[in-house]
Structure 1
C-alpha cells in the first residue's frame, strides 16, 4: 500500500472524509436534494475512499456496503422499501452544478483516465468560465446478500478518480456532520471546512446570491432577499456549526451604502476537538416511521431541528397510537373512522409542541407539593394553572421578539424609518379602515406614538423576518458577534 493510500485510509478510519472540492459547492438543478440525501452521499464517499485505500473496490470500479451502514433504519429484516429507493434515486437522478470556490479551481482538470498520458505541449487559452453539470452517481444496484440489504454504486467516470482519491479536498469530520440538522448548515460546514488550515482563514468572497443559491436544497425555491435568508436560515446554521467544536466561522458582509453586496466567512479551528468516528449512517428511523403515518420528510426535518429527534420519536409514537386505536363502543358504522387525521404533519407538530409545554409546566410546578395538599384544591385548578403558564410563556416569548424588532427599527436611519412608515400608511389605506388620528400620525411619521407603534413594528417584522417572525429564534433578531460589516468604497 502506498504512503498516500495509507494516509487516506487512516484519515477515514479516524472519521475524516477527504471530500473533493467538486462535491462541496454543488447546486441541484433539476430536483431537490434533502439534508439526509447529502449526508448519505458523504457517507458513501467515506466508505468508497476506505475501500479504495484498502484495494477493496469492485472489478468494474464499483463500491459496495450494507444499506444500513449508509441509511440507518434499514436492517436485515427490512424489505428494500420505496423509502430506501427514494434516497438512492435522489443521488442518481439529481443533476448538480459545480461552482468553483476560487478562480484557481476554474483551471481544475477532470479526466476519466487514471494514468497520466504524456502529451505534446500545446498552448491553450486559460479557462475563465465553465459550466459543469453532472449526476452524483452513475449507477446504483440494490439487492439482498445473505438476507441483508446491500448497495453497490458507481461514480461518473469523469469525476470518479477525483472523488475517490481527491487532489484538492476539504476535511469533513463525520462526528460533526451527523449532528447538523439542516441542508444549509451541512453545506456551509463542508465549504468552510475547506479553509480550516488556510493561512488567511477566509472563504472566497462572492455575491450574496451565490451563497443563497448554493446553500439552498431546492432549485425551485425562490431566491430570497439576503436579510430574510440570513435571519431564517444562515444565523441558525452558523450557531449550529460553531456549537459542534470542530471549526468556528464568522459572517463578513461587504456593503455598498446600506445594501449588502458581497459575503464571505472567516474560518478558524475550534479549541475543542470532537471524538473521531467512522462514517456514521444518516439516521432516518423517524423518517421511516413518519412515512408509514403519512407525514412528509420535510416536516420531520423541521421538527427534529426545533424539538430534537427524541421528542419527535415520542410524538410519532403518540400519533400512531391515536391513529390506530379502535373506535369506542356504540360508534355508528357510517361515522368518520376513529382516529382519522386530515393533516398528519400539523397534528404531529401540535403533539410535539404540547409535550414541550407539558415539560415546561412540570418544571414550573412548586416543589414540595404533596398529595394531601392537592386534594384540598379544585381538581380543575392544575389544568387552569398549566393553561395560564402556557399562555404567559407564549406572551413573554412574543414580547421579547417584539422588543428586539423594535430595537432594530430604532437603529435605522431616520429617513429609512420614515420610508417604512409610508409603506404602513399605504398598506393601511388599501387593506383596512383606520381612524383619522392614526392616519394623521402615520402621515407625520410619528411611529413611536402608542396609536401606531404596534402597527409599524408588526409590519416591519413581517416584511423583514417573515410572517412567522414570532416563532423565530431570538438570535435571528440580533446582529451576531459572529458577523462583521465592511463598507465597500
Structure 2
C-alpha cells in the first residue's frame, strides 16, 4: 500500500507539479458515510481543503484561504457560492466512523467529515475568504496522517463521476502494495462507498455493475496514465456476494519507442458502434475524442434499448436520435434497477427501503451539470477552432500553453503532453480547457447558463 511512516513534508511556498497532491489518510479514501451523502464536487472540495490544511500545518486551530483559490483547486470553476455552500453542508451533515486497533486498545470514533465553515465577503475590492475546522478527534489523523496515499489533485479533478474519483484514490493506494488488491467487502458496502450514499440497504448487483462500476473503470482507464483497475467478483453459489479490485500498472514506455497512433489507443469497438448507427467515421472519431467515454457508452446503451423496444415506434434516424440523446443527457441519470422491476414508491416510503439508484438531481447539482455541459461545449468549440488553425498558429498556441501552464500540471499530465501534445487523451482536455478559457475568459452568470440549457434542451436534467 502507498503508506509512509514519515508525516507529510512541511509547508512550501511554491509547490511544483509533483507536489500538487494531498496526503490523504488511508481511512479517508474508501469512506462509507453512515449519515448524509457525498458527491463528486464535495469530494473535490474536501481534497482541496485537506491540501491547504496540510500546507498550513496541524498546529493551526483554524484554516483560512481565499475562496477563489479553493474554487480553483477544487476544479469547481464557478462563482456560485450558494452551490459551494450546499456541498459544504453535505460534508458537515455526513457522519463517518474511524476505528483503531492495537495490542491494548481498540478505539471507535463517530464524527462529522468537516467542522465549522465560515465564508466572509469583505466588501468590494477585497478577497472573499473561507475558514474551516476539523473535529478535534480526527484532525491530526487528517492533517498529519501516519499512513496515507498521495492523491494528485489534477488527476482527481478530471474524474467526471463520484465512483471514478473513489476508485482512482483506491488505485493510488494499492498500486504499490505487494498484491495490488483492494479490500474485499460485500456488495452493499461497495455500493455505499462508490455512490457516497448512506441510505443503501439492498442492491441488485447486476445494475450496480452496469451503471456504476463498469463506467467508473472505463473512466479510470481513459484518464489515468499510471494504472488501470480490474474488478474481481467472489461468489457464494451462483450469487456474487463480495467484490474487490486489482490495480494494474500501465506500461511505462520511453519517448519515441512507439508511434503516436499506438500511444493513443482508441476504443475501436466504441467508435464502431457509433458508425453502425449511421454516423460518418470522421464524425464518430471526433465525438469519441471530445466526449467522456462513460457518457458515450451510456448513451449508446440507451439508443440500443430504444431500438430493441417492441412498444416504441421505429426510429427513422438512429444517428440523429443518438446525437439528440447525447446533447440532452438522456442517459445522465439512470436507475440501477429497471423501471418495471422497481416497486411503486409513495411519498411516505423511506429512501432507505428503495433499491440503490442515482436519484433525481438537486437544483444545485443540476446547475453544476449545466455548467459542465457549458464547459464541454466551449472545449468542443476550442478544439474545432484549433483544428482549423494553420500549423504555425497551432505551434504558437501550444508554446503559450507550455509557457503558462506546463509547470503547473501534475507530472503524469505533463509527461503525456510532452509525449503526445494535443493528441494525448490524458492531456488534451487540460489543453482545450485552457484554450477555451484564454479565448473566452468571461465567467458565465447563472442567467447565461440557464439560457444555454434552454437552447440545448438540457434544463430538465
TM-score by length of 2: 0.52
1:311 — aligned with what? 377
Residue pair 2:42, 2:90 contacting (<8 A) in 1 also? yes
2:187 — aligned with what? 208
Choose the corresponding residue for 1:14, options 13, 16, 19. Answer: 19
Go from structure 1 to structure 2 and tell me whether the alpha carbon gap of 1:63 and 1:246 turns closer, same or farther (over 3 Å shift).
farther
Go from structure 1 to structure 2 and tell me whether the alpha carbon gap of 1:132 and 1:234 turns closer, same or farther (over 3 Å shift).
farther
Choose the corresponding residue for 1:41, options 39, 46, 63. Answer: 46
Q: Distance in 2 between matches of 1:12 and 1:50?
A: 15
Q: Distance in 1 between matches of 2:444 and 2:84?
A: 22
Go from structure 1 to structure 2 and tell me whether the alpha carbon gap of 1:34 and 1:246 turns closer, same or farther (over 3 Å shift).
same
Choose the corresponding residue for 2:366, options 299, 321, 325. Answer: 299
Matched, 1:139 2:116: yes
2:82 — aligned with what? 82
2:101 — aligned with what? 107
| Deviation of 1:223 (Å) | 3.8
| Deviation of 1:156 (Å) | 0.9
| Deviation of 1:167 (Å) | 0.4
Go from structure 1 to structure 2 and tell me whether the alpha carbon gap of 1:180 and 1:73 turns closer, same or farther (over 3 Å shift).
closer
| Deviation of 1:251 (Å) | 0.5
Choose the corresponding residue for 1:255, options 235, 260, 266. Answer: 235
Q: Which has the larger radius of gyration?
A: 1
Q: Distance in 2 between matches of 1:139 and 1:178?
A: 24
Residue pair 1:182, 1:301 contacting (<8 A) in 2 also? no
1:157 — aligned with what? 136
Residue pair 2:450, 2:459 contacting (<8 A) in 1 also? no
After TM superposition, the structure 1 = structure 2 runs for residues 239-250 of structure 1, keeping only pairs within 5 Å, are: 239-243=218-222, 244-250=224-230
CA-based RMSD of the aligned residues comes to 4.1
Q: Distance in 1 between matches of 2:241 and 2:32?
A: 21
Go from structure 1 to structure 2 and tell me whether the alpha carbon gap of 1:44 and 1:138 turns closer, same or farther (over 3 Å shift).
same
Gaps of 5+ in 1: 101-105, 109-122, 274-293, 326-340, 353-489
Gaps of 5+ in 2: 1-5, 254-360, 382-442
Equivalent residues, number: 280
SS across alignment from 1:175 = helix
SS across alignment from 1:27 = coil
2:93 — aligned with what? 93
Matched, 1:51 2:31: no
Q: Distance in 2 between matches of 1:298 and 1:80?
A: 12
Choose the corresponding residue for 1:220, options 178, 199, 204. Answer: 199
